[in-house]
Structure 1
Amino acid sequence: MKCPPIVGQPITGGLFMSKYSRELKIIIANEFLSGESSEILSKKYAISSRQIRYWSQVVAIHHDNAFQPTPHLRHAEARLQALKLMWTNN
């Protein structure tokens, strides 16, 4: 029997599964940014107040792009170009 991956451990392709959906993170962050206490939201959603404050910072900085998956370099050539760029720019 094959077990599902544990949250936070890499799955196929080196991606990570998120414990909470992007939509839920944004909803909770917006509630906090609208003035709701992180302690009250913590009790309401059973998520740490620290996590809620972090999500709120991400939403405040990135707006509509918050929690979007980052594009990964899929080809060896693109990875090599990225490494060369890093080497030249220290």
Structure 2
Amino acid sequence: MDAQAFDSVWDALEDTAAEAANMRARSALMIALRTRIESWGESQAEAARRLGVTQPRLNDLLRGRVDKFSLDALVNLAGPAGFSVRIEIDDAA
């Protein structure tokens, strides 16, 4: 069996380059959001109110359940968390 090398775990797991790119963006946003939320030192209920989501929804985010969030949903949470989101477009290698 030949060893394969991938740029990210998402490239190994997803079927297409587009799906892998979407998952990379979603996971990066989730990590940034989780770090910001944890820095607030608030309860999950308080943080959920601050972001305009339910506590169970916030719990899904904090537990890294990336499959439960679209890229749009995460971008919408970025504003209330105090983030500005920019997309960088590069030529494919």
State the TM-score, normalized to the length of structure 1.
0.26
Structure with more relative contact order (C-alpha pairs < 8 Å, separation 6 or more): 2
From the CA coordinates, give the structure whose radius of gyration is larger: 1
TM superposition score normalised by structure 2? 0.25
